[in-house]
Structure 1
């Protein structure tokens, strides 16, 4: 039986504004997208979040539940569902403006602490925006004793203070994680003047995560572990937009590692991941997970909005 994952973080509606000014509302939020991606790839997944009972919230819940995501008790309330306005340029790249209020309810916190998971993932706004970010950090550090942990900074500078103020929180989450995925934009903002590849390599060398992956858009991705690194090419595609591509990468990477027994409850999977990344080249299951992640991100870029692929779509894409 597949091991269960718990995703902690925001769910919101992406209001997409195209180059022509046309507006469309689509369910989103980085952790919500990761939860949906895991569910569509066949992994049991619970989601601790805050979403309203309004129209946007109802659409979000129905979409995630249809994808196999179970909402943690206390994740739904009467407050308005948060929004992010994504403005797309002619190449399909997005910039964001946010209207968001982030904090887990006491009931959701109790449910997370009372319902252990094999793997815990968090990141983005939920891990950086007060007042909820402190709770997320506490939950993640507490979960590490019984589960593996992953983190995607997916930083939103418009919601954060200066990088020097945010760095300590990010680095605590990195240290608590077994797998970290970040974008080159994340690390360029967090460490001004430092090449993102050098910052990612340093994270891998500091004794926290066994695997650090840097995504670089059309230039693919690079993964580091303590003794080496590997480049993963990006499939050649016609890009419709890049919304949710990084989240699709994350969910497929985690799905691949979970299926290989390299993430999960207890010390066995953590030890297995350490062994799989204890050489100049990673073990084959790690490479397969990275390749799967690149393919999932590419498929997401071929369609509008954050729409991660299903397992069947990835099998069909593989030919």
Structure 2
């Protein structure tokens, strides 16, 4: 079973152009990942912070529709993120959020993999509790820093925290934009290889229209992007992570740290192909709407 720890919020997606009212879509990077893995058939529990308010109830219903089990860590008002879209559908985010769990942060019985990242690993006081959980768990750890510069302080400080979490993780995914902010002038491939040296079994960089690049101890692989018509990019990286984790599970690698570390080039190529496809499908529709297993398999066929 997969357990995801982190924020769930309401995305207020504002299209380009004056006086266009925003559309509301459930979001938050960890919540999007949980939604995506559950839609693909991977049993998933989300530990998050949701308020007893209309937006919180809407998010609960959205997650429940995919089969996500939700455990609420705090009853603070539901957070929001305003996604301002440009003419290409790319999103810039503005946040109204806090992350302060008031209930115990521990994994449900049977959890074999823990995924976290984004603001849950950057905003105090909750970030320290999440880091302590990562240091203590025996589960396979998946981590996506999902950098939000407006909330993470100077890059030098963020980089120290992120590198500590990379060293605790088994699977790490980051975007080329994340890496450019953390390491100006460095190539994504060089950062991926450097992070792999900190300890993870697998490190992946998503490259937008350039696809994705990943390394393991014994292999590296580049997967090109799928040719699609983009509606927007909201949730694309999270859908990538969902597809990646689901495929690792189907290959028997998500609950077995040693098997994950032995992963070779064939399995790595399969994992990236699935993840890139899941991300592409999400980009063809508005909001963070990852594919079901049937949609993923149909698109691939």
Aligned ranges 1:97-176 → 2 under 5 Å: 97-107=94-104, 109=105, 112-113=106-107, 115-143=109-137, 146-176=138-168
Q: Secondary structure at the match of 1:42?
A: coil
- Write the deviation string for residues 77-100 of structure 1: whole angstroms up to 9, x where unpaired: 2x2100000000010000000000
Number of residue pairs matched by the alignment:
299
Select which of 7, 10, 18 maps to 1:10. 7
Select which of 269, 279, 285 maps to 1:297. 279
Query: Is 2:46 the counterpart of 1:54?
Result: no
Deviation, 1:23, is 0.9
TM-score, normalization: structure 2? 0.96
Q: Secondary structure at the match of 1:106?
A: coil
- Rounded Cα–Cα distance in structure 2 between residues aligned with 1:63 and 1:120: 21
CA contact (8 A) 2:6 2:119 kept: yes
Select which of 84, 91, 113 maps to 1:87. 84
Select which of 208, 212, 218 maps to 1:221. 212
Deviation, 1:275, is 1.3
Give the structure 2 partner of residue 256 of structure 1: 247
- Rounded Cα–Cα distance in structure 1 between residues aligned with 2:161 and 2:249: 26
Q: Secondary structure at the match of 2:89?
A: coil
Select which of 185, 203, 214 maps to 1:193. 185
- Rounded Cα–Cα distance in structure 2 between residues aligned with 1:172 and 1:126: 15
Runs of 4+ residues deviating >4 angstroms: none
Q: Which runs of 5 or more structure 2 residues have no equivalent in the other structure? A: none
CA contact (8 A) 1:222 1:232 kept: yes
Aligned ranges 1:9-48 → 2 under 5 Å: 9-20=6-17, 21-48=20-47
TM-score, normalization: structure 1? 0.91
Question: For the aligned residues, what is the CA RMSD?
Answer: 1.2
